[in-house]
Amino acid sequence: MRAGEQRGFTLVELIVAFTIMALLTSMSVPLARYKVRRDQERELRYALREIRKAIDDYKDASLSGKIDIKLGTEGYPESLDQLVEGVKLSQSPDGKKIKFLRRIPKDPMTGTYDWGKRSMQDDPKSQSWGGQNVFDVYTKSMARARDGTPYAEW
């Protein structure tokens, strides 16, 4: 190696390397956003399935006479908290309770535990809850899925 030589990148090499890195970064950002949204959608489907199964299990228990039902509820729970807190078994002399959910799942779209609720008496597309019972749940997010359907209709 001669005394006057220096090692390193030329300005052109640095510009080319920086341009390639910027291009790769700009391509990865939309993919990361897509993956985050896809994961949220998967979590939403799972949470809705979990809550709806608990509501169905509550209805089945009320139809089979395992639990006492309140007049006007049509055999559905009065609130989501009732699924977590449990309901006293009608044939249990010691006051044993049956629980249908361990906890209310978090809504991945809104980041809260506040779900939209519909009662049996409400319109199927209604965004307000009548309060008589909990027949169905939906997310309160106003966002739309990739196919254009609102998440609130899932």
H or E segment at 31?
helix 11-63
In a domain, 4, yes or no: no
In a domain, 132, yes or no: yes
CB contact set of 109 (below 8 Å; sequence gap of 6+): 40, 44, 139, 140, 141, 143, 151
Tell me the CA distances in angstroms from 37 to 31, 76, 108, 146, one per residue in order: 10, 32, 10, 9
In a domain, 152, yes or no: no
pLDDT of residue 17 exceeding 80, the answer is: yes
The percent of residues in the chain predicted with pLDDT above 90, rounded, is: 54
pTM: 0.79
> What is the number of structural domains in the chain?
1
In a domain, 149, yes or no: no
Predicted local confidence at residue 70, as pLDDT: 84
In a domain, 83, yes or no: yes
Q: How many CA atoms lie within 13 A of 75 on its CB side?
A: 11
- The per-residue pLDDT for range 101-147, each reduced to its tens digit, is 999 999 999 999 999 999 888 777 778 787 889 999 999 999 999 88
In a domain, 90, yes or no: yes
In a domain, 78, yes or no: yes
pLDDT of residue 3 exceeding 60, the answer is: no
Structural domain harbouring 74: 11-142
What is the CB neighbour count within 10 angstroms for residue 139?
Answer: 23
H or E segment at 57?
helix 11-63
Terminal CA-CA length for the chain: 70
129 contacts 136 by C-beta, under 8 angstroms: no
